[in-house]
Amino acid sequence: MEKMESIFTDRAWSSGHREEMDRDGHIVLPGLLTADARTRLVEALSHIQSLMPGDEEYKPSHYAAEYNDYLASLIGHPQMRDLVHEVLGEDIRYDHCVSLNRPGGNGGAHWHSHEYGETRPELGFVRIFFYVNGFAPGDGALKVVRGSHLFRDASIDFQSDSALREGWIQDKVHPVTGQPLEIEELSAPEGSVVLMWTHAAHAVTPRRAGSDTRWTVVYAYRNPGLPSRARWLSEAFEERGVPGAEGLLSLY
Ligand SMILES: O=C(O)CCC(=O)C(=O)O
Ligand SMILES: [Fe+2]
Residue 63 lies in a domain: yes
Closest listed ligand to the CA of 204: 1
Ligand 2 centroid distance, CA of 144 (Å): 11
Ligand 1 centroid distance, CA of 95 (Å): 15
Residue 229 lies in a domain: yes
Which of left, alpha, beta for 250 (phi over 0: left; psi -120 to 50: alpha)?
Answer: beta
Residue 251 lies in a domain: no
Ligand 2 centroid distance, CA of 72 (Å): 21
**CA 223, CA 226: separation in Å to the nearest integer?**
9
Residues with CB under 6 A from ligand 1: 98, 100, 109, 127, 129, 142, 202, 204, 216, 218
**CA 153, CA 136: separation in Å to the nearest integer?**
28
Largest CA distance in the chain: 54
Residue 247 lies in a domain: no
Q: Any idea what the CATH number is for the domain that residue 230 is in?
A: 2.60.120.620
**CA 108, CA 211: separation in Å to the nearest integer?**
13
Residue 252 lies in a domain: no
Threshold 0.95, pTM exceeds:
yes
**CA nearest to 194, candidates 216, 172, 163:** 216
Q: How many domains does the chain have?
A: 1
Residue 164 lies in a domain: yes
Average pLDDT over residues 9-34: 90
Query: Helices 15-24 and 78-88 sit at what angle, rounded to 10 degrees?
Result: 60
Ligand 1 centroid distance, CA of 16 (Å): 25
**CA 32, CA 171: separation in Å to the nearest integer?**
36
Mean pLDDT, the chain, whole residue set: 96
Closest listed ligand to the CA of 106: 1
Residue range 216-244, pLDDT digits in tens:
999 999 999 999 999 999 999 999 999 99
Q: Is the dihedral of CA 127, 31, 147, 202 positive or negative?
A: negative
Please say if the pLDDT value at position 11 is more than 70. no
Ligand 2 centroid distance, CA of 146 (Å): 15
Residue 124 lies in a domain: yes
> pLDDT band at residue 12, thresholds of 50, 70 and 90?
low
Q: Which residues of 91-126 are buried (b: 16+ CB within 10 A; e: fewer)?
A: ebbbbbbbbbbbeeebeebbbbbbbbbeeeeebbbb
Expressed as residue numbers, the domain containing 207 is: 15-240
Residue range 115-146, pLDDT digits in tens:
999 999 999 999 999 999 999 999 999 999 99
Q: Which of 142, 148, 199 to mutate to test the pocket of ligand 1 (most atoms within 8 A of CB)?
A: 142
Q: Is the dihedral of CA 142, 221, 18, 11 positive or negative?
A: negative
Atom of ligand 1 nearest to the CA of 114: 10
Residue 178 lies in a domain: yes
